[in-house]
Amino acid sequence: MSEQNLEALRSQIDALNLEILRLINERAEVVNEIGKIKEKQGVNRYDPLRERHMLNLLRENNKGPLNQMTVDYIFKQIFKTALKQLEAEKKKELLV
């Protein structure tokens, strides 16, 4: 009985993972668009004030069960790694 429950819950996790995957990729596409505009403006991609704004908005809207420390940590990783990959690709383009 609980083995069946376990399987059902794991299917839920798999579905949620795929939905999160879709959203972080969609997010990366928008970050890329922002990068292009900033490049034209000659502005740095990394903007600590904007990052603070995003984390504050997440804080105001976090209903748990994850606490704010966990949410901050996960999103900082998302911010950092997405930017890192996009910058690496930009560098490759420049080398071609």
Rounded to an integer, what distance in angstroms lies between the CA atom of residue 19 and that of residue 24?
9
Output the smallest distance, CB 91 to a copy of itself, in A.
Answer: 14
Interface mask toward a copy of itself for 54-73; x: CB under 8 A = x--xx--xxxxxxx-xxx-x
Q: Is 50 in the site for a copy of itself (CB under 8 A)?
A: yes
> What is 38-82 written as a DSSP string?
HHHHT--S--HHHHHHHHHHHHHH--SSS-HHHHHHHHHHHHHHH
Two structure tokens written together for 27: 């997010």
Output the smallest distance, CB 23 to a copy of itself, in A.
Answer: 5
Rounded to an integer, what distance in angstroms lies between the CA atom of residue 16 and that of residue 67?
19
Interface pick for a copy of itself out of 25, 45, 52, 87 (rule CB under 8 A) = 25
Which amino acid is residue 76, in one-letter code?
K
Output the smallest distance, CB 69 to a copy of itself, in A.
Answer: 8
Rounded to an integer, what distance in angstroms lies between the CA atom of residue 23 and that of residue 17?
10
Q: Which residues lie near a copy of itself (CB under 8 A)? A: 2, 5-6, 9-10, 12-14, 16-21, 23-34, 37-38, 40-41, 50, 54, 57-58, 61-67, 69-71, 73-75, 77-78, 81-82, 84-86
